[in-house]
């Protein structure tokens, strides 16, 4: 049986009043989220909303020719499926697990019922949505104006913020797909970071060796996004 302590691994769930969280105990279903699993395809109906705990989900915009680029990442700070309560029952992006782990899901109709009642759930989800929109906007600016080296640093730091270790399992092909660039560009950028002693990369395993140096090397986009999440979604005292 799911416990309140397990649910609180997700910071949005942890920010709910204890009474509200207890009411959700029997409705939140634990789920495995393996690497590469597609939670939603573009245009699909949202039947469940996901709260990652130890996994990270990438939101991708997919072009007609199959090319894609990441517009945001969601981990233990958030929820996957905001289009449900923003006025639509389908999503324009693909949601795919970029870092394997665990999470919880809840039936979309139940969440919409809680959202329509107003109160803590509505305010919490709207605050989170504002933070996510900031990340999406900053990602677009970063991809247009900053070097691939800086984009990779931003991507690594955003991922680290949502993990409990300094290790990521991610091939260069997948990173290239996330950033919307060629694999050769990722190889060169990762090579620069490895030569500088910031990361160690081997066969799909990335270990961040010097986070402070990554933060010095990254563009301002990472700090903009982090400040907005910290402002809108403090771990305690949100409600």
Domain range list for the chain: 4-142, 147-218
Query: What are residue 94's DSSP bridge partners?
Result: 60
Note the CATH architecture for domain 147-218: Orthogonal Bundle (1.10)
Q: What is the pLDDT of residues 101-123, one digit of tens each?
A: 999 999 999 988 888 888 888 99
User: What percent of the chain shows pLDDT beyond 90?
Assistant: 48
Nearest to 235 by CA among 5, 37, 41, 15: 15
Give CA separation, 17 vs 6, 127, 148, in Å.
15, 16, 42
Residue pair 104/2 in contact (Cβ under 8 Å)? The answer is yes
Query: What are residue 70's DSSP bridge partners?
Result: 60
Task: Look up residue 84 and give its DSSP letter.
Answer: G
Report, as an integer, the average pLDDT of 66-74: 87
SS3 of 12-50: HHHCCCHHHHHHHCCCCEEEEECCCCEEECCCCECCEEE
d(CA 17, CA 237): 10
- Domain 4-142 class, CATH top level: mainly beta
Q: What is the pLDDT of residues 197-222, one digit of tens each?
A: 999 988 778 899 999 999 999 999 99
**pLDDT of 235:** 56
**pLDDT of 52:** 97
pTM of the predicted model as reported, rounded to 2 decimal places: 0.89
């Amino acid at each position: 049986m799911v416990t309140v302590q397990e649910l609180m691994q997700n910071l949005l769930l942890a920010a709910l009043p204890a009474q509200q969280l207890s009411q959700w105990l029997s409705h939140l279903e634990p789920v495995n989220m393996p690497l590469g699993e597609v939670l939603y395809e573009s245009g699909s109906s949202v039947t469940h909303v996901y709260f990652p705990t130890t996994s990270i989900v990438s939101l991708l915009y997919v072009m007609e020719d199959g090319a894609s680029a990441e517009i945001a990442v969601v981990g233990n700070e958030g929820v996957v499926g905001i289009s449900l309560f923003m006025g639509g029952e389908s999503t324009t992006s693909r949601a795919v697990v970029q870092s394997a782990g665990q999470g919880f899901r809840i039936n979309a109709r139940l969440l919409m019922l809680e959202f329509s009642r107003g109160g803590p759930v509505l305010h919490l989800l709207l605050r989170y949505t504002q933070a996510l929109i900031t990340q999406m906007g900053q990602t677009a600016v970063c991809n247009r104006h900053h070097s691939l080296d800086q984009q990779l640093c931003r991507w690594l730091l955003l991922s680290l913020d949502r993990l409990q270790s300094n290790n990521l399992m991610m091939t260069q092909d997948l990173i290239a797909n996330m950033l919307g660039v060629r694999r050769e560009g990722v190889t060169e950028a990762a090579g620069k970071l490895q030569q500088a002693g910031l990361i160690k990369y081997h066969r799909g395993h990335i270990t961040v060796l010097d986070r402070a140096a990554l933060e010095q090397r990254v563009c301002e986009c990472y700090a903009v996004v982090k400040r907005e999440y910290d402002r809108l979604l403090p771990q305690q005292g949100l409600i």
